[in-house]
Chain A
């Protein structure tokens, strides 16, 4: 057979496969064909409407002129370098983690390119374009360092979790600054806003709720009845009421509970509320992991003569937490979405900024544009996280029985 006829045959085979696929997936039996036609019509109408609106109907000026507001809210312009620094720090650590746990820097590069293109095309200042390029480049560079400098890998895997924790607190201090300082003047939390505040709220809540959640989960499975009752009461109380009531309570009751000379601001109160709320849900996730540990593990630990603390610290929790990582990522996603509720208690998060932009007289009637824009931002973050969580689930081999 000549190569040409082989090519012809494969092409014919491909065509036949395609037709079978069409028949099996779209046109058989008869009612499926009907469904296909209706679905195609629905998709056509929806896509046509949406695309027409996006390219001709929508007035995107409301988004492009307010990009900085959406990103950081009223954070002082001359102090923005602190946000850039924090972003750079996070991306360097992200790159190192990517490389240290077996990610390829080439993939990181490919991932970064679309962002670069978007930021270069976006109507932002040249300085912002440069900064984005630098931080994204740092991400790729650090992932390459962790990938190719082999002897670094093991120590990196040990150090990185602590580095993330340290970076978390460093970032908070960096963004907040000190009273009366020249280099790092105070930026009140009331000036934190936009996507920055949204991300900070979610990260603070998940990080701080982690120790509380683990303790509550252990408490709920404890043999000490008082501790157990307290944990159950706390978890069920918080899970039984909506987040907005917890936030409301944090705003109104927290100042009453604390001594009069200790006044904490609105953002901190919201963070406290979100943390207390997240802790209850995290506790239930961790409890799921604890329940999945076979009894033999406890008995083996006991046989080795380990006490309660050692058993939990070295035997049970490492296994239990590993098993619930995907569930915790899932919780983080819903927490990220839930940060939008702080708009109700008057914080300047992404949604709140959107509402205030809509309320400005020059942007009247442009709700669709603004909500579509912030909807897409929320969507990108949540979808990326849920995608990562699914990959992680496969990698860790949990959820497969």
Chain B
């Protein structure tokens, strides 16, 4: 009898049992979510059927029929909507990857400049950061596009910078490398060189670790690779790459690398904007390294460079990587502002597809899916890198 009373005491009535309440609360929450979603879906369904539209992705196989200004992969208006969308995705990836690389370099330079002992340099870096971070990116993009890129002189009077690099209102044309037929053969040498160089690098660092004598692994490794490249250069028939200079032919430049004003404005805008944020991330990361670490490095007699290379940077990296990742993601997402200046990124192309087909849900699903997968891939890569540089805690 006593046990029964105890268990009665231990078990409150079900309407006051927390576990039961939790389940009930969740079921109610789920029902509310489902009802709202179903209501919205039925509204949408009726509206769409009223307009005579059937949901589905079949339209992707239809002919797109619109031209795209920049096509890194072959595309003609006769291709399908799927192909057009793919061109947009490739354009987004192109501007994001180049943008991330350049923004990282510029950001590190400015971040280090902000910590410089030189007062003037520090002031320049601070002013740069405060101006760029406190104005909207879209305003900056419009500025770069309409007030800089389109204000360059006409193509006949293009500004010539050393290189040569030509600036005109038709975009930027610059000297670039052009692979010849023997390039693939040379590529084999480069790859073989990379493998051997890695082995040499491993061996020299192992030697350094074992004996304590400087092994110069970086110098030996790159020298090996350069040697392979040089030997390959002379062994393959003809030069594997040639320097391709842009020349004025008719109404535009021929040869070299030619960037449209839209792409240039977007790239410059994204790089300049994101670099200001990366600079702050880098600065915070370097400042986060304990002062004692620097003092210890000095006491060991390391040079300034060695101190930065072996003591400060490896530790700063741990602090820098997570916020840096979110800056990379921001840059990728911000590239969608391309639509404002007419660069055919994925959002822009998808917008055109929507205007032509009226397939709202499908197009938005495609856009969101693409951005989500790019975000996911970037995060995965950066998490993998973060695990590599992370401090192994006790």
Q: Which of A9-17, A65-73, A170-178, A368-376 contacts B (4 or more CB under 8 A)?
A: A368-376
Contact A260 B29 (CB under 8 A): no
Contact B121 A35 (CB under 8 A): yes
| Bound complex: CA A386 to CA B133 (Å) | 10
Q: Does A355 contact B (CB under 8 A)?
A: yes
Contact B29 A226 (CB under 8 A): yes
Contact A224 B135 (CB under 8 A): no
Tell me which of A26, A225, A338 contacts B119 (CB under 8 A).
A26
Contact A379 B131 (CB under 8 A): yes
Q: Does A245 contact B (CB under 8 A)?
A: yes
Report the minimal beta-carbon distance from A35 to chain B, rounded to whole angstroms. 5
Contact A256 B48 (CB under 8 A): yes
Point out the residues of chain B lying under 8 angstroms from A111, CB to CB.
none
Residues A338-392 near B (CB distance < 8 A)? 338-341, 343-344, 351, 354-355, 358, 367-368, 371, 374-375, 378-379, 382-383, 386
Q: Does A32 contact B (CB under 8 A)?
A: yes
Q: Say whether, besides A237-B372, A240-B375, A375-B143, A253 and B360 are in contact (CB < 8 Å).
A: yes
Q: Which of B6-14, B71-79, B83-91, B363-371 contacts A (4 or more CB under 8 A)?
A: B363-371
Q: Say whether, besides A227-B29, A379-B134, A241 and B116 are in contact (CB < 8 Å).
A: no
Q: Which residue of A lies closest to B131 (CB)?
A: A379
Q: Does B101 contact A (CB under 8 A)?
A: no
Q: Does A39 contact B (CB under 8 A)?
A: yes
Point out the residues of chain B lying under 8 angstroms from A25, CB to CB.
117-119
Interface string of A285-327 (1 = CB under 8 A from B): 0000000000000000000000000000000000000000000
Point out the residues of chain A lying under 8 angstroms from B43, CB to CB.
256-260
> Which among B30, B43, B131 has the highest number of chain A CB atoms within 10 Å?
B43
Q: Does B264 contact A (CB under 8 A)?
A: no
Contact B138 A241 (CB under 8 A): no
| Bound complex: CA A226 to CA B334 (Å) | 32
Q: Does A223 contact B (CB under 8 A)?
A: yes
Point out the residues of chain B lying under 8 angstroms from A260, CB to CB.
43, 46-47
Report the minimal beta-carbon distance from B371 to chain A, rounded to whole angstroms. 5
Interface string of B338-365 (1 = CB under 8 A from A): 0110000001000100100000110010
| Bound complex: CA A66 to CA B143 (Å) | 19
Residues A35-57 near B (CB distance < 8 A)? 35-36, 39-40, 42-43
Contact B134 A383 (CB under 8 A): yes
Q: Does A244 contact B (CB under 8 A)?
A: yes
Q: Say whether, besides A371-B139, A375-B139, A375-B143, A241 and B121 are in contact (CB < 8 Å).
A: no
Q: Does A248 contact B (CB under 8 A)?
A: yes
Interface string of A253-278 (1 = CB under 8 A from B): 10111111000000000000000000
| Bound complex: CA A283 to CA B368 (Å) | 20
Residues B106-141 near A (CB distance < 8 A)? 116-121, 123-124, 130-131, 133-140
Contact B371 A26 (CB under 8 A): no
Q: Does B161 contact A (CB under 8 A)?
A: no
Point out the residues of chain B lying under 8 angstroms from A248, CB to CB.
347, 351, 364, 367
| Bound complex: CA A367 to CA B341 (Å) | 14
Point out the residues of chain B lying under 8 angstroms from A375, CB to CB.
135, 139-140, 143
Residues B284-305 near A (CB distance < 8 A)? none
Interface of A (DSSP majority class)? helix
Q: Does A113 contact B (CB under 8 A)?
A: no
Q: Does A242 contact B (CB under 8 A)?
A: yes
> Which among A25, A240, A355, A379 has the highest number of chain B CB atoms within 10 Å?
A240
Q: Does B231 contact A (CB under 8 A)?
A: no
Tell me which of B22, B147, B336 contacts A224 (CB under 8 A).
B22
Contact B120 A244 (CB under 8 A): no
Contact B40 A257 (CB under 8 A): yes
Contact B147 A367 (CB under 8 A): yes
Report the minimal beta-carbon distance from B372 to chain A, rounded to whole angstroms. 4
Interface of B (DSSP majority class)? helix
Report the minimal beta-carbon distance from B25 to chain A, rounded to whole angstroms. 6
| Bound complex: CA A25 to CA B122 (Å) | 10
Q: Does B35 contact A (CB under 8 A)?
A: no
Q: Does A398 contact B (CB under 8 A)?
A: no
Q: Say whether, besides A24-B117, A351-B136, A240 and B347 are in contact (CB < 8 Å).
A: no
Tell me which of B30, B120, B137, B361 contacts A337 (CB under 8 A).
B137
Point out the residues of chain A lying under 8 angstroms from B340, CB to CB.
343-344
Q: Say whether, besides A256-B44, A259-B43, A242 and B333 are in contact (CB < 8 Å).
A: yes
Point out the residues of chain B lying under 8 angstroms from A354, CB to CB.
139
Contact B44 A257 (CB under 8 A): yes
Q: Does B211 contact A (CB under 8 A)?
A: no
| Bound complex: CA A240 to CA B46 (Å) | 30
Contact A241 B367 (CB under 8 A): yes
Q: Does A394 contact B (CB under 8 A)?
A: no
Q: Does B376 contact A (CB under 8 A)?
A: yes
Q: Does B26 contact A (CB under 8 A)?
A: yes
Point out the residues of chain A lying under 8 angstroms from B185, CB to CB.
none
Contact A224 B347 (CB under 8 A): no
Q: Does A230 contact B (CB under 8 A)?
A: yes
| Bound complex: CA A241 to CA B22 (Å) | 32
Q: Would you list the 10 A-B pairs with minimal beta carbon distance, nearest first?
A: A382-B134, A257-B40, A242-B333, A39-B120, A25-B119, A337-B136, A340-B136, A242-B336, A367-B147, A256-B44
> Could you write out 29 A-B pairs with CB less than 8 Å apart?
A25-B118, A36-B120, A39-B118, A40-B120, A224-B29, A226-B26, A227-B25, A244-B336, A244-B347, A245-B336, A245-B364, A248-B347, A248-B351, A248-B367, A252-B360, A253-B360, A255-B47, A256-B43, A258-B43, A339-B136, A340-B138, A344-B337, A344-B339, A358-B146, A367-B142, A368-B151, A375-B135, A378-B134, A379-B135
- Chain A residues within CB distance 8 Å of chain B: 24-26, 32, 35-36, 39-40, 42-43, 223-227, 230, 237, 240-245, 248-249, 252-253, 255-260, 333, 337-341, 343-344, 351, 354-355, 358, 367-368, 371, 374-375, 378-379, 382-383, 386
What would 9 more interface pairs be, CB under 8 Å, given A35-B121, A253-B44, A257-B40?
A: A39-B120, A39-B123, A39-B124, A240-B375, A242-B347, A245-B367, A253-B361, A256-B360, A257-B43
